[in-house]
Amino acid sequence: MKLETGAEAPYFSATDDEGTTVTLDDYAGHPLVLFFYPKAFTPGCTAESCDFRDRHDTFYKAGYEILGVSPDAPEKLAEFRAEYELPFSLLSDPDHVMADAYGAWGIKKNYGKEYEGLIRSTIVLDAGGTVEQAWYNVRAKGHAERVAKELTE
């Protein structure tokens, strides 16, 4: 189910690209941008991740931390993060528990076929763990810029 503005953020616990367990509690008191993407090293996901990288300073200066979330294994995420010099952690969600909780898993359509998969989404949490903004089924290109604009204007 998609999260609405004002909803309490679902608790999460996931392994990051360094093999460390990361939880929602680790970010208590810090606004957080969670962007969910389907697969590391694919063109759209690489473009989106690099767009968040290129705007990292904008988010950071506004007080926001960034976490990328995908079904990829931590080892693959470590390679992806190193290859593209991403300044934020990437979380592994192979069983889509986190994606389910945040409304980023569901029915997708591709060339007329329906299947379940990760829906490219961005959820912004305020310092108190409340949903500040939520975007679902977003386009990879230009999305990070839109999020940065919304949060800093």
Q: Which residues are catalytic?
A: 45
Tokens of 79: 């390679």
Question: How long a stretch of residues is the chain?
Answer: 153
Cα dist. 110→113, 135, 142 in Å? 5, 20, 21
Structure tokens at 54: 């290129």
Residue 36 corresponds to which tokens in the numbers above?
A: 């969910």
CB 92 within 8 A of CB 15: yes
How many Cβ atoms sit within 10 Å of the Cβ of residue 1?
9
Please say whether the beta carbons of 34 and 123 come within 8 A.
yes
